[in-house]
Amino acid sequence: MIVEYILPISIVVVIGIVAGIMLTIASKVMAVEVNEAVHTVHQLLPGVNCGACGFSGCEEYARNIVDDKTVKTNLCTPGGSEVARKISEVLGIQFEAAVGKRAIVKCSGTPDKTNFVMEYEGLQSCSANKLFYRGRGACHNACLGYGDCVTVCEFDAIHMVDEIAHIDKNKCVGCGMCVTKCPNHIIKIIPDTQRYYVKCSSTDPGGYTRKVCSAGCIACKKCEKVCEHDAIHVKNNYARFDLDKCVNCGKCFEVCPVKVIQYIPE
Amino acid sequence: MKEILIILMSVILVDNFVLSKFLGICPFLGVSKKLNSAVGMSFAVTFVMIMATAVTYPIYRHLLKPFKLEYLQTIVFILVIAALVQLVEISLKKYVPILHRSLGIYLPLITTNCAVLGAVLLNIKEEYTYIQSIFNAMGAGIGFLLAMVLFSGIRQRIEHNPIPIAFKGVPSILMAASIVALSFMGFGGIIENIFN
């Protein structure tokens, strides 16, 4: 009787009670203190985990703001000034307005201006196409046009227009997810205050670029010569702005023979 | 040493837990979508299998067997494994937060996973010694990792290919799983030929 009934029941009950007590003690002894402020800040952030702030995600950024007072509250580009102000209020830190950022596509190679070297029928993705003889374009630094950036964008800000990526500046928050996704690295982030940019990233020599694309930068250096502020330089066969020096005077824009320097209206 | 090698080889390749014993199918189908999560899940399973074997083996030997209460093993093991996983999770959270962040979400999932319980029960059934049981559990975990990694690769290929609508989703995945399981039958008899 005792061995048949009481013993099994008591063994299971005892194991259950022991496990219960151990877990209770463990959860008390090894309790991890969750900082309330981290949770509040995390709630304020947009929660898209884009990494534009330089941390691995919204939670990580929230933890760093709370723990380290030198970390600025305006690093969140999707949230912008609004979020920065709220976080500063919660933590009682001096508020600084966020500088808006936006993404730009540095390629103007629509099908009427450049040509393709293949008829690609494989997996419809830029990174897959890139593996295949460096992409379908005659220019190796062109927009591949399969929209990897469109898929990665959390804000519906990128669309394919004329087979190249087009960024809707009203929707773009400058998080930079497309920048890391693009296999040709032709998307860049610039501050909202910058009015001009070079819409080409061709590192091929000017002559070759001219042959394969009527819109590409031919590295003629006219912009470099006309610039009074030493803010634009031709390096690796295409013109690049020095964003710290550029004053948005627009002289390079006027002088460019292939009209590859673009003006962004306010 | 030779026995341990035989145990490892057979539990990883011939008697793979997922592909020939059909244990742990739920995480095999559920978490194999991405390679990263498949690997994370497999390490969590391996870890819990080893811990569970280390704890349940003495309980069986010194508590259940002397009183002839072998029939209680299933319920006692479930109880012990569940408590153990909770304990491990709490201590990881406190002392190794980085590991907790990568394994943490999978730990509650495998509290009473059938692969873990299966590993523990099979150790008893095969009458392994303590050391052999630990290695068997480790091998079971590695076999699980192998199956998960292989299958996550196959699933990524499936998703990018045109499949008839009727087979999209679960049907095609189940068919792929059965083909992978079939291919693992090719390992049958390999142990006898290597070691004898």
CB within 8 Å: A23 and B80: no
**What is the distance between the alpha carbons of residues A259 and A238, in angstroms, rounded to a whole number?**
13
Among partner residues A12, A26, A123, which is closest to B76 by beta-carbon distance? A12
Amino acid B104: pLDDT: 65
pLDDT of residue A59: 81
Rounded to a whole number of angstroms, the distance from the CA of A25 to the nearest CA of chain B is 10
Percent of chain B with pLDDT over 70: 97
| pLDDT given at position A20 | 92
Residue A58 has pLDDT above 80, yes or no: yes
Residues contacting residue A207 through CB under 8 Å, at least 6 positions apart = A218
Please write the tens of the pLDDT for every residue from B112-150: 688 899 999 999 998 899 999 999 999 999 999 999 999
| Residue A61 burial (CB count, 10 A) | 25
Q: Is the model's pLDDT at A51 over the cut of 80? A: no
pLDDT at B99 exceeding the cut of 80: no
Count CB pairs under 8 A between chains A and B. Answer: 46
**Which pLDDT score is estimated for B137?**
94
Q: Is the pLDDT of residue A7 over 80?
A: yes
Asked if A16 and B87 come within 8 Å (Cβ–Cβ), the reply is no
Residue B24 CB burial class (10 angstroms; 0-12, 13-18, ≥19) = buried
DSSP letter at A238 equals E
Distance from CA of B91 to the nearest CA of A (A): 7
Which of B62, B67, B90 to substitute to test the interface with A, most A CBs within 10 Å? B90
Buried b (16+ CB within 10 A) or exposed e, A81-92: eebbbbbbebee
Point out the residue among A12, A26, A31 whose CB comes nearest to the CB of B75: A12
- The identity of residue A203, as a single letter, is T
Is A11's CB within 8 Å of B83's CB? no
- pLDDT at residue B73 above 80? yes
Q: Which of A8, A32, A123 sits opposite B69 (nearest CB)?
A: A8
- The residues, ordered by sequence, that sit 6+ positions from B57 with a Cβ below 8 Å of its Cβ are B120, B123, B124, B130, B133
Q: State whether A23 and B75 contact (CB < 8 Å).
A: no
Environment class of residue A244 by beta-carbon count within 10 Å: exposed (0-12), middle (13-18) or buried (19+)?
exposed
ipTM of predicted assembly, 2 dp? 0.73
Rounded Cα distance between A213 and B55, Å, is 70
Q: What is the pTM assigned to this prediction? A: 0.59
Task: Determine the pLDDT at residue B149.
Answer: 93
Q: Which residues of A lie closer than 8 Å to B, measured between beta carbons?
A: 3, 7-8, 11-12, 15-16, 19-20, 22-23, 26-27, 30-32, 123
A2-39 CB burial, b ≥16 within 10 A, e <16: eeeeeebeebeeebeeebeeebeebeeeeeeeeeebbe
Residue of A nearest to B84 (CA): A19
Interval B18-59: pLDDT, tens: 998 888 888 888 888 888 878 888 888 898 899 999 999 999
In chain B, residues with a C-beta closer than 8 Å to the C-beta of A8 are 69, 72
CB-based contact A61:A55 (threshold 8 Å): yes
Residues of B in contact with A27 (CB under 8 A): 90
Residue carrying structure tokens 């550029």:
A246
Tens of pLDDT, residues A105-158? 999 988 888 888 888 888 888 988 888 888 888 888 899 989 899 988 888 899
Q: Do A8 and B94 touch (CB under 8 A)?
A: no
Q: Which domains does chain A show, CATH number per domain?
A: 36-91 (1.10.15.40), 101-263 (3.30.70.20)
Contacts of B192 (CB under 8 A, 6+ apart): none
Q: How far apart are CA B170 and CA B174, in angstroms?
A: 6
SS3 call for B1: coil
In B, minimum Cα distance to A25 occurs at B87
What are phi and psi for residue B187, nearest 5 degrees?
-80, -10
- What pLDDT was estimated at residue B145? 94
**B148-to-A2, B124, B177 alpha-carbon distances in Å:** 47, 26, 10
What span, in angstroms and rounded, lies between the C-alpha atoms of B15 and B8? 10
DSSP state of A187: E
Contact check, Cβ <8 Å, A15/B69: no
Alpha carbons B85 and B23: distance in angstroms, whole number: 19
φ/ψ of residue A222, rounded to 5: -60, -40
User: What is the maximal distance between C-alpha atoms in chain B?
Assistant: 60
Q: How many CB atoms lie within 10 A of CB B99?
A: 14
Give the type of residue at A164. Answer: I
Q: How far apart are CA B144 and CA B155, in angstroms?
A: 16
| Chain A closest-CA separation from residue B86 CA (Å) | 7
- Percent over 70 (pLDDT), chain A: 99
End-to-end distance of chain A based on CA atoms, in angstroms? 90
